[in-house]
Structure 1
Amino acid sequence: MEHLEIERKFLVKSDEYREQALSKTRIIQGFLNTHPERTVRVRVTGEVGFLTVKGKSNVSGTSRYEWEKEIEKEEALSLMKLCEPGIIDKYRYEVDFEGKLFEIDEFAGDNLGLVIAEIELKNENETFEKPGWLGEEVTGKVAYYNSQLIQKPYNQWKM
């Protein structure tokens, strides 16, 4: 399935979202390609695998082309053996706030301590209510892309 992905990303400043979560799922992913013009990701979410290709983001970092296909979990695990070094391991919480779905990723491993919320929008100018646990916006900041977090994990950042 292909579409134009329009999303905004934010740091999360408290764990209040956990109490509001509709679900919590472990996600493990690797990258077959992290070229700046396109990334190719392999992901296991629960018992399902996915192969995803993402294009380059627009200037604001809010939108980019995305193509995704569901694959068998075993196929995804096999493809992970071909991935570039580094694996993203995280838990995703889904929270409905004021009619909008926020996906909050709590990273583990080398990215432990990093918590990012994303909201997918219908257009770049769509407005939405911000929950109290939402922090600084990091949309378009490349360092926060999963494809970059395998190359320079959060635990290597100088705070």
Structure 2
Amino acid sequence: MNMEIERKFLVTSEDYKKESYKSERITQAYLNSHPERTVRVRTKGENAYLTIKGKSSESGLSRFEWEKEISIDDARELMKLAEPDVIDKTRYLIKQGTHIFEVDHFHGRNEGLIIAEVELNSEEEKFEKPAWLGKEVTRDKRYYNSLLSKKAYKTW
């Protein structure tokens, strides 16, 4: 169990792809997408995970997170129980200073949306911003994956 502290930003260009040292396709579905708690099942390459996240803090920067690795077969079975609309995205990892940015390039109903996230050790922690980092959307709930699965970016 741990507290997740992260900030989210829109991405202004695809220059991040040139800086990426790794990318992988991710699919995820929600067993529960209630704002108080989300339960998601995710496949990432040949690995799969079950994750529970709590409600965001008042600042919107942190929340409780619990995650366990599960088998791919279990993940596929759990996805059959999930709420409609699976999230499909390619995640790119970019090292910037002492931090790793995760840039999610969405596909399907969320095509056109590119979000960068950086995990921090505290809400006040400073970090180096890459040139392609745009407007911060940390507090904008529309950009939560659990809500993108219900109200796709293409429908905004």
Q: TM-score range, shorter-chain basis?
A: over 0.9
Looking at structure 1, the residues matched to 15 and 119 of structure 2 have their Cα atoms a distance apart, in angstroms, of 20
What one-letter code is carried by the residue in structure 2 that aligns with 1:50?
A: Y
Looking at structure 2, the residues matched to 36 and 144 of structure 1 have their Cα atoms a distance apart, in angstroms, of 13
Looking at structure 1, the residues matched to 115 and 15 of structure 2 have their Cα atoms a distance apart, in angstroms, of 13
Looking at structure 2, the residues matched to 132 and 76 of structure 1 have their Cα atoms a distance apart, in angstroms, of 37
- Report whether the alignment pairs 1:117 with 2:116: yes
Q: Can you list the C-alpha shifts for 1:123-154, whole angstroms capped at 9, x where unaligned?
A: 00000110100000000210000000011000
Q: TM-score, normalised by structure 2?
A: 0.99
- Report whether the alignment pairs 1:52 with 2:29: no
What one-letter code is carried by the residue in structure 2 that aligns with 1:137?
A: E
Q: TM-score, normalised by structure 1?
A: 0.97
1:97 corresponds in structure 2 to: 96
- Give 1:36 deviation, angstroms: 1.2
Q: What is the aligned length?
A: 156
Extract unaligned runs of 5+ from structure 1: none
2:106 corresponds in structure 1 to: 107
1:28 corresponds in structure 2 to: 27
2:11 corresponds in structure 1 to: 12
Matching of residues 134-145 of structure 1 within 5 Å: 134-145=133-144
- Give 1:98 deviation, angstroms: 1.2
Instruction: Name the SS of the counterpart of 2:154 in structure 1.
Output: helix
What one-letter code is carried by the residue in structure 2 that aligns with 1:36?
A: P
- Report whether the alignment pairs 1:39 with 2:38: yes
Please provide the CA RMSD for this pair: 0.5
Looking at structure 2, the residues matched to 52 and 69 of structure 1 have their Cα atoms a distance apart, in angstroms, of 7
2:74 corresponds in structure 1 to: 75
- Give 1:60 deviation, angstroms: 1.4
- Give 1:94 deviation, angstroms: 0.2
1:154 corresponds in structure 2 to: 153
Looking at structure 1, the residues matched to 50 and 112 of structure 2 have their Cα atoms a distance apart, in angstroms, of 27
Q: Can you list the C-alpha shifts for 1:6-30, whole angstroms capped at 9, x where unaligned?
A: 0000000001110010101000000
- Give 1:74 deviation, angstroms: 1.1
